Chains A and B, each alone.
Chain A
Amino acid sequence: MRPRIIRMSLLTGTWYDQTDQEAKSFEAHLTASLRGDIETNRRRLAKIAVPFFQKAHHQQYGRKIAPEKIRIRLERPEPALVASSEVEVQLREISYCGKIHHAKRFHSTILRLRKPRRPTKARRRKARRARKIVRRESRKGRRSTR
């Protein structure tokens, strides 16, 4: 499968900041070029991005944010030349004051995607047994049709 550029954004809802007297939201924009199914990649990216986003939000505002309050959105994937395990993350704070939006830039980071872990010995054995049963059943089915 060809690698594709996946752009994912993590967003909070808007809240009103009493001290600065403006509406605010916090967002992280991730860019990665990955191979494989989009749904699997989305899950893999979300797994590393959500804790990172929670930590950044906590550092910035001193408030914790629950994972279910984080909105995860994707953009249309585009073809990439090479796949990479590096994920570029850019953080922005969007504030709305005086009829105009302002974006404040924070440090950008590079996260690394972990390789999928090899299943344990017991799990591999279990999967092998399951495959065996499926094969046996299909053979039985073929015989009965003859």
Chain B
Amino acid sequence: MNVLKVDKDCFVNPNWLKDYVEVAKAICRMHNVQLFSILKVNSQRKGFHLYFHIRPVEDWLALRMQFLLGDDAQRVSMNRARLRSGLTAWNKLWWYRHRRFRTIYQHQSSGRSK
């Protein structure tokens, strides 16, 4: 798993988002995971989704990190059930066409883009 997906069901101030990026970096550092970039996209109604591009990690660690990054509790529980049942694409996060992805963090050494 090289992409972590986080669902946030509220809109926040850009300053709060800056702090959140620092928290995400700290969480990745804690688990020795290299963070390449963070993309943000508005969800259908009530918040936004975040996509963290990271160095590949095993599925259980990815799920744990998503929980630590403040993913929606219902989604964590559902994804855990899917992962236990052996579903390969367990990390479900719905995507809506014509929604624009914005990069809110990019690691300096990585040449990754959207």
Contacts and interface: CB of A to CB of B under 8 A. Distances in A.
Interface in B65-85: 77-78, 80-82, 84-85
Instruction: Say which size band chain A's interface belongs to.
Output: 20 to 34
Given A94-B78, A101-B80, A105-B86, A39 B94 contact: no
B40 to A, nearest CB: 13
Contacts of B60: none
A101 B90 CA distance: 14
Interface stretch (A46-54, A71-79, A129-137): A71-79
Contact of A90 (B78, B84, B87, B94): B87
A74 B95 contact: yes
Contacts, number: 47
Contact of B93 (A29, A38, A39, A75): A75
A102 B97 contact: no
B95 A76 contact: yes
A105 B84 CA distance: 10
Contacts of A31: 89
B29 interface: no
Contact of A101 (B78, B89, B94, B95): B78
B92 A75 contact: yes
Contact of A29 (B77, B81, B89, B95): B89
Nearest to A38: B97
A9 B92 CA distance: 9
A75 B84 CA distance: 20
A101 B76 CA distance: 10
Given A38-B97, A75-B92, 18 more contacts: A29-B87, A29-B89, A73-B94, A74-B94, A76-B95, A90-B87, A92-B82, A92-B87, A94-B78, A94-B81, A100-B77, A100-B81, A102-B81, A103-B81, A103-B82, A103-B84, A103-B87, A105-B85
Interface of B: 51, 77-78, 80-82, 84-87, 89, 92-95, 97
9 contacts: A7-B89, A39-B97, A75-B89, A75-B93, A77-B95, A103-B81, A103-B82, A103-B84, A103-B85
